[in-house]
Structure 1
Amino acid sequence: MKRDIENTQDITLLVETFYRDLCKISEMDNLYNEVIKIDWETHIPIMVRFWGSLVLREGGYRGNILSHHHHVMEKYPLTQEMFHTWENCFLETLNRLFQGPNSDKTKKRVRAMSQSLIKKLDI
């Protein structure tokens, strides 16, 4: 039986596994590694703080995800399909690793975030 997301180590496992899985999809790998040229050593801890704030109420995340995505759109046209790919990959990773109330809360947040960004970015 899988356990629930309980601590920062669980969030770290989720985030690292998710991005590894996401970058197996060629379009997403291209976006992150060729277009954005993301610095993974910087990005992963930021995303751990972000998800830790949302799921475990740990705090520590300071940023504006909408402005970050606007910045990406200056370099590359994001599509609804890309957000759906991101959402589906995140949910698959989450379902493979965890189950429980925090996991369920995270699923709701992922779906809401994907839809919100699509709407706010007008794509």
Structure 2
Amino acid sequence: MNSGPAPADRRPGGALEAEVLALLQSSPQPLTPGEVLERLDNGLAYSTVVTVLSRMFDKGLLTRSKQGRAYAYAPVTDTHGLTARRMRQVLESDSDRQAVLTRFVEELPSSDEQLLRQLLGELGEG
């Protein structure tokens, strides 16, 4: 017999991680699992929060430091930095970077292409 939550009660994949990440990004200091659990206030088990934080740390999304008997967690970067990191990971997963970058630029709206050209020009001047 399954004693877990009914399928309708489950979050879509990654939703809890996104919720935890948003909470940590809005916090001025790192948070322990107990503090995360308290602030989420959604009936999760402490062990679930520890597991999610540990997995996020293992994925490189969070840093952690010892705080008493627990770890305190903080995001490695802001939302934009995490998106850029995911983009780089996807790029690095293909063996033909030039083809991927060419397709990427070809499919950009002209305003994004202009912004990219401007940013690359500024980086080249530095």
Higher strand fraction (1 or 2): 2
After TM superposition, the score normalised by the length of structure 1 is: 0.29
Q: Which has the higher contact order (CA 8 A, sep 6+)?
A: 1
After TM superposition, the score normalised by the length of structure 2 is: 0.28
Q: Bigger radius of gyration, 1 or 2?
A: 2
Higher helix fraction (1 or 2): 1
